[in-house]
Amino acid sequence: MTAQTHYTLQVGILGQLEITATMARAAAPHPVDRHVGQRIRQRRRALGLSQGTLAARLGISFQQVQKYERGTNRVSASMLLATARALQAPVAAFFDGLETTGDGDDGGLRDLVGEMLATPGGGELAQAWLAIGRPALRARVVGLVRAIAAP
């Protein structure tokens, strides 16, 4: 988020110039922008690339990559396509994990992967999940977790 300064110039009673400055904060990043940025960061790190390396591939500054990854700057469609190519991923991969909630609080979207990984034990659970190679066993684990999580 960046702060913007607005100036008002007025001429006072005695002909003096008065300058008033007000600061306005930019709105918080949209949940989708944050999610896409997180997915860009995850993919970049998975490939072992620095922000500078990705920036060089895209012809932008590493600071711009930082802003994209934080969600403070939106990634245009053309830049998202270029980023997907640079990171050797389909464009859709940057939207994986979004789910519509419909409650309006988060723009109707939830970042399930991000939420899970942010919880204690979430990363370990994800690693263990990926180690389960048999689809039938995964299905049974899902059933078990649903049973435990049921109210």
Query: Average pLDDT, stretch 87-109?
Result: 72
Q: What is the mean pLDDT of the chain?
A: 81
pTM across the whole model: 0.56
- Identify the pLDDT of residue 50: 94
Q: How confident is the model at residue 17 (pLDDT cuts 50, 70, 90)?
A: low
Please check the confidence at residue 25 and state whether its pLDDT lies above 70: no
- Identify the pLDDT of residue 7: 62
Q: How confident is the model at residue 109 (pLDDT cuts 50, 70, 90)?
A: low
Please check the confidence at residue 105 and state whether its pLDDT lies above 60: no
Q: How confident is the model at residue 27 (pLDDT cuts 50, 70, 90)?
A: confident
Distance (Å, rounded) from C-alpha 44 to C-alpha 94?
11
Which sequence spans correspond to the domains of the chain?
Answer: 119-151
pLDDT: which is higher, 23 or 81: 81
pLDDT digits (tens, 9 = 90+) for 129-151: 899 999 999 999 989 988 998 77
- Identify the pLDDT of residue 1: 44
Residue 42: exposed, middle, or buried by beta-carbon count in 10 A (0-12, 13-18, 19+)?
buried
Other Cβ atoms less than 10 A from the Cβ of 80: the count is: 17
